[in-house]
Structure 1
Amino acid sequence: MISKLDLYRIFLTVEKNQSFSKAAKSLYMTQPAVSQAIMQLEKELDTRLFNRTPKGVTLTDEGSLLYEYVHSAINLLSTGEEKILEFKNLTTGELKIGVGDTISKYFLLPFLEKFYKNYPNIKFKIVNGTTIELCALLKSGEVDIAVCNLPVMDQALEVIPSRAVHDVFVCGEKYKRILSKPVSFQELMKMPLIFLEPNSNSRRYVEDFLLTKGIKLSPEFEIGSYDLLLEFAKINLGIACVIKEFSQDYLNNGLVYEVPLLEAIPERHIGVCYLKTVPLSPASTKFVEIIVK
């Protein structure tokens, strides 16, 4: 049975061609099938829509009224279909990314640049926050994906590791002389320590690792800015716990020095998170592919 939408499409085609036979040819249907469709629509609406003449058909007053609405509706549907195709082909849309300031600066920017070059019509919305805050934003639908310090233990989220990173301790010139040989974590704890604030996932990872060694962390300084960790260490205010991969400029230029340890902190990852229950948009899917490949 022909659907109501198909009946209206046939209705528009008949009006355009002013003929059942021409409409049938345009629709790749038989003329009796087109006639039957119009009769079915007229029956359902209990209204005659076309005046039939030997020269063709014309709309009745009721048909003219219906035509205005059907024509607008079908045009809107066609526009919607075109927009969906644009969306799928990444020629329009918005990508909402949740990310921390540090990961934005030291990890995400090259991926944003690459994505934008390939898909310049996709708009970005960047929302900053801690890993805990970003997971909450994912669940509320305020961001499509989050780029976080892992590990993230949340059964509602799909978590894909991307880049391995290493937590190390760095110091300035003063402590470099004191810590010239590999030291244990117990010895390191005797020094003034500089850490990120407790709600940072990076801080919690190192703190949890040290607890497995029976060491409770008690930093001298707790800072909200990653860059200040390096600056504080550079001016000899203490020993800072940083991500080695994000500190290469300071290390390579001799502004800070890596403290040699008897035991390395296990590596962890930067990764992408998104809700398991919500399919990724085409833009989100492509961006995740760029990050994790």
Structure 2
Amino acid sequence: MITKLDLYKVFCEVCKCGSFSKAAKSLYMTQPAVSQSIMQLETDLGTRLFTRIPKGVILTNEGEILFEHVSSAINLINLGEKKLLESKNLMIGDLKIGVGDTNSRYFLLPYLEEFHNKYPNIKLEIVNRTTLEICDMLKSGEVDIGICNFPIKAPYLEKRTCIDIQDIFVCGEKFKEIISEPLSFEEIAKLPLILLEPKSNSRNYVEKYMLSKNIKITPEIELGAHDLLLEFAKINLGISCVVKEFSQKYLEDGTLYEVKTVEKIPKRNIGFCFLKSVSRSPASKKFSEILEGK
């Protein structure tokens, strides 16, 4: 069934070609089909649009008025279709990623590099927030994908695990003598502790686990970045709780020492999440595939 939009597309092509036969070739239609489409459009509009001449057709005054507006509309439709195709092929578009400072530095960077090398025309916007703030931004549509510290309680999000991480305690040279034997969590709690700020999902995880053992930990110093935990422990201001995988350089060169404990804090995960209820962009899907190593 031919639609009004189809009729206008035929009309515009006849205008450009100045001939029913040339328009038919351009549109892969028969000449009678083109003629029938123009007749139907003229009948619908109640006016004559073309005047026949020996070499083809020319627009009437009414046809010129119609073409001026219809051609712009058809061009915009064609442009929209072109942009949609480019977006599907990742030739244009943008991707907004929510991530914390630590995960950005120690986890996300190589994936960003790979994605950018593959799809250089996709504009990347990185928003630095805590995990809880990222969940809120995902819910409101402010970011497309979030790199988060798991576990999180957010039933409206699809969650995918990427790597396991281990929380440990570290100290500088001054406290080295205390780590000759493994310490209990009760003993750890009595030391001068350096932890992340309370809004951090990482700190909340460690605190909740300690409370499950009936141990309350109270830090002497609270900081906003994982790197600062390492640096403060390095200058012997206390015992820092850090992610082992993100602290290897300090541990390997002997700048910091891992405080051995009788039992370990259970491992947790870093992963990515996105809204369950909305259709995802091609860029978001491709970036997810890179994160999952597909």
Q: CA deviation at 1:214?
A: 1.2
1:235 matches 2:235: yes
Q: Is residue 130–residue 199 contact of structure 1 (8 Å, CA) maintained in 2?
A: yes
Quote the Cα distance in structure 2 between the aligned partners of 1:6 and 1:103: 52
5+ residue gaps, structure 2:
none
What amino acid is aligned across from residue 75 of structure 1 in structure 2?
Answer: N
Question: 1:74 matched to which residue of 2?
Answer: 74
Q: Structure 2: which amino acid aligns with 1:156?
A: Y
How many angstroms does 1:55 deviate by?
4.4
Residue matched to 1:16: 16
Corresponding residue for residue 199 of structure 1: 199
Instruction: Look up the match of 1:85.
Output: 85
1:183-238 deviations in whole A, cap 9, x for unaligned? 11112112111111111000011111111111112122211121111112112221
Work out the CA distance in 2 between the residues paired with 1:127 and 1:175.
37
Q: Which string of whole-angstrom CA distances, capped at 9 and with x for unpartnered residues, describes residues 7-64 of structure 1?
A: 0111122223333233333323233322221111111111110113454322111111
Match of 1:132 in 2: 132
Which residue in 2 is equivalent to 1:141? 141
For 1:6, the equivalent position in structure 2 comes to 6
1:1-293 equivalences under 5 Å are 1-53=1-53, 55-293=55-293
In 1: Cα distance, 2:85 partner to 2:26 partner: 24
**Contact 1:152 1:159 survives alignment (8 Å):** no
- Once the two structures are superposed, what CA deviation does each residue of 1:218-270 show, in whole Å capped at 9, x if it has no partner? 12221112111111211222111000011111111111111111111111111
Measured after TM superposition, the shift of residue 292 of structure 1 is 2.0
Write the distance in 2 (CA, Å) between the matches of 1:53 and 1:91: 45
Instruction: Give the aligned length.
Output: 293
Give the TM-score normalised by the residue count of structure 2.
Answer: 0.95
What CA distance in whole angstroms lies between the structure 2 residues aligned with 1:93 and 1:289? 17
Letter in 1 for 2:220: E
Within 1, Cα distance between the matches of 2:119 and 2:269?
27
Give the distance between the partners of 1:109 and 1:225, measured in 2 at CA.
Answer: 17
The alignment yields a C-alpha RMSD, in angstroms, of 1.4
Q: Distance in 2 between matches of 1:49 and 1:65?
A: 10
SS of the residue corresponding to residue 42 of structure 1 reads helix
Instruction: Note the residue ranges of structure 1 that are not aligned, 5 or more in a row.
Output: none
Q: What is the distance in 2 between the residues matched to 1:25 and 1:176?
A: 85
Question: Shift of the alpha carbon at 1:98?
Answer: 0.7
TM-score, with structure 1 as normaliser: 0.96
Structure 2 letter corresponding to 1:222: E
Looking at structure 1, the residues matched to 25 and 227 of structure 2 have their Cα atoms a distance apart, in angstroms, of 71
Cα distance in 1, alignment partners of residues 237 and 210 from structure 2: 22
The amino acid that maps onto 1:134 is: I
CA–CA separation in structure 2 for the residues paired with 1:234 and 1:17: 77
CA distance in structure 2 between the partners assigned to 1:186 and 1:240 by the alignment: 15
Identity %: 63
| SS of aligned partner of 1:47 | coil
